[in-house]
A and B are shown apart, each in its own frame.
Chain A
Amino acid sequence: MKKVVALIMTACVAFGLMACSNSDKKDTTAANNETEAAGKDTEKAGGDEGGGSSDLIKVGIINNDPNESGYRTANDADLQKMFCKENGYDASFAYSLKNDEQIKYAQGFIQDEVDYLLLSAADTAGWDTVLQDAKNAGVKVILFDRTIDADPSLYEASIVSDMDKEGETAVNWLAGQGLSEYNVIHIQGVMGSAAQQGRSGALDKKVEAEANWNIVKQQTAEWNAEKAQQIVQSVIDSGTSFNVIYAENDDMAKGAVAALDAAGISHGVGKDVIVMGFDCNKWALEELLKQNWNYDGQCNPFQASYIDAIIKDLEAGKTPEKTIIMDEKGFDAATITQADVDNYGI
């Protein structure tokens, strides 16, 4: 009995600590992957080793598990579509949410003598040795989606989302709505993740700077729709008035809207409460189209075309820029079109 209680207590403390101190966890996607199973399967796409088609560019792609989130699924689908035989690539894919497994895959790809190693690292640290090996073997490394703590000379280029910019775009849009007073319910993602920090930072700065911007409630729902619903419900129950919901992803915005619906509070274009989300899920953009929500910020998962351009440049002997920040849009319900939903929904 003692043992079991001790175990539970230890678990509680450990969970508490984990939740407090995961600031070094780079999570640019809109999903928490702590409990997510690690996808360990490697998959060969068009991998005829002795095919003899020497004009194909051989790439090894290491990504996070596509099950992790809608963002990752879209990201993986985009890469699969671009790096195929029709486009002149002989690509192998490997997936893991664990850094050590990813490093193992990287070593495998280097042994297979790929021309390019494309990497979305699970963790920022621990890549120096394997990237040095790659450099020695003449494998060119391109980072996408996530950066790592390694000497920039070890990779050719890195393609990243600027989370701070995403937050700023959204906050600027909100400021442009010209409300006399901003009473914001701020629903945060998993604390410490890159997406949370970028999206929270911009709002925090604005609230501090402007007298008529107030945060009614700032709480983490850990990317979880239902927790967001409970948080908004608790504000409604306490009778505090608010006119903006700033949710750091679409799921949480959806949960917040469910609470508003239940309480009979109108939301959307020209209504009582402005609803803002992030990530541009297709269903979320459809809510914008129906004018139920007001704004959705993009976190661009479509990096394949950028990578393709870099590889073309390198093949032509040009040196690409080291850090490439992708274009990210913010959609306004007043101006969004069906074409936007089809093109940018993930």
Chain B
Amino acid sequence: MPRGAPGVGSGHTLVICEKPDAARRVSEALSGGAYRSELVDGTTAYRFSRGGEDFVVCSAQGHVYGVSDPSDERTVYPVFDVEWYSSDLVDKDSAGAARRISAIKKLAAGASRFVNACDFDVEGETIGYNVLRYACGGKEEEALRAKFSTLTEEDLVQAFGDLKPQGTKGLALAGRARHAIDFVWGVNLSRALSQAALGSGHRYRTVSVGRVQGPTLGFLVQREREIREFVPVPHWKVSGVFERDGRKFTAGYSVDRVETKAAAEGVRDDCAGREATAKSVRRSLAQVGPPVPFSVGDLQKEAYRAFGYTPSRTLQMAERLYLGALISYPRTGSQKLPASINYRNILAGVGRIPEYSAHAAEILKAEPRPVQGSKSDPAHPAIHPTGDRPRRALDASEANVFDLVVKRFLAAFGPSARRELVDVALAVGEHEFRLAGGRTVFPGWMKYYGRYAGYRDVELPPVSEGDRFRVVEVRVEERFEQRPPRYNQSSLLEKMEKEGIGTKATRADIIATLVGRGYVAGEGMEVTELGFSVVETMARYAPSIISTQLTRGIEKELEAVEGGAGGEAALMRETVRSLARQLADLNANEEAVGKEIDSAQMTTAAKSSVLGRCPVCRTGELRMIRSRKTKKRFVGCSNYASGCRASAPLPQRGVVRTTSKECERCRWPVVYILGTGRPWRLCVNPDCPGRKRR
């Protein structure tokens, strides 16, 4: 597109989008590609005419306004008065916000009409509201709203042909209230804890406890305690190997878990040398309905199951696909696909992509009707493909998430699958063994969902009642209860959803913050000493901070504000009152709080430098050490003074995270290197045979 000379013009309609890609797509769709782009203070704006009207489209590029403390003091608390500022004054990662605001101000001057085209959700409404209020000179009331769930030409043209008055102020007010509450919460507690730790300790490090972060860390600590205190109790699993017509198969004992060794061995002894009879053969047909359409949480869980992607990575991929107009808006809680999205059009579009064409065509043979889930979202439908083809090559992660979204969408239109289940009861005297099999006799939706469907066939030999079998062997295996699993990013997200804390837009970031702050470490999200200490300290001196109840209550109030019930000022006042009480308690115990946090910081730092047991001397620990001379980091043994010379170089870039795992080939510790692109595993042994092979 031609790049024109900068100019501000007048009498135009100014359209505010949330992201630059969205601004370009809106311009393409409304102008049919006939737009001019120009740089205003380094921000790209698009100009075109439509129906005799001049349009200028620009983007905020996320939050250009943020909440902060009006005073310049960064260590003083409590802080209960907050103001909205240009984001670059609030957040070091938002450099450039002032320039974008300046550009929007210039573009707003002389505009006769304003359209908020930011994402239609709490965050988008908040961004649009703030830009209209502060950068456009108080136009938040009179602006119009373009509502769309996909960035396809069809949806955008329709949305701009049906602009509504900005009647969704509840979302913006709730968003602003959430930002203010979370700021007040976070800044006061972080300052209180960090100052306390600094007062009694070694060096300053930010210790934060956000409003949702606190209870979430509480869940992790509770689970970690259950794991660390766990004592497994033994039980026995009994199974039998049976033979008929030269064919052997294994059946489980009817009691899944035999509580005593004597009872288990009794079964084995009773069955030895005897015959089994097929006492009953039950065949049944089970209908397995299609999976419901994806909400963002469902997509994050499924992508974790299918590809091991963290929730934040999945969301990032989904947002890229949305901005590429390939899928609908991903931050949705809905599991419903309304007919208004035009199933036939989307299926026809998806059908033009070769790998989906056969299945899409099959669905289109009848009237397409998808299964619907129970959750709804007033702003957006469930995540679905738009029917557009990728215009650029997708990277592997994007392609995976896109494939998952498309196949889930197709699966929603599929008929129920049918599985034949067979349950055979084999009697040996008074004992009974059960043989279970199952196979898919009609794949239905499973065919469309492909490898994500996850059902396996277990074929059984033909068996009739009364058939006799030789008991070849009865096995008795000692088993132990399994300790509870640690949360992973997906199951933690599920827990947050279930407990009603955080929002679909913020949960993944909160989990990432817990990792970033050093409260949890490693693949399995193991709570560090610091994580324990923060929760212990809060539980002792300010228990409401980690209370799910308080956070959930605030979420409920915010939902009411979103729905237009108002009350945001009262909610803010109540939050401040509650926080002030907790801060006073923390303050009264500052010395004790500081000591606990500082000591935990030291322990966590010391532990995070231990990579594992030294495979050379077998008594020392391999540690990450920084050379005083070269300032470079390397691995050395704690028994260096006793003569162990085990050492290894380490990458100098990125964060080294311990894994408590040993290399299968050489038994040296394995670490994770983060922050240099995709995280990667590294055996620290420079002579590892595995390394040489690669």
A pairs with B: no
**Which B residues contact A (CB, under 8 angstroms)?**
none
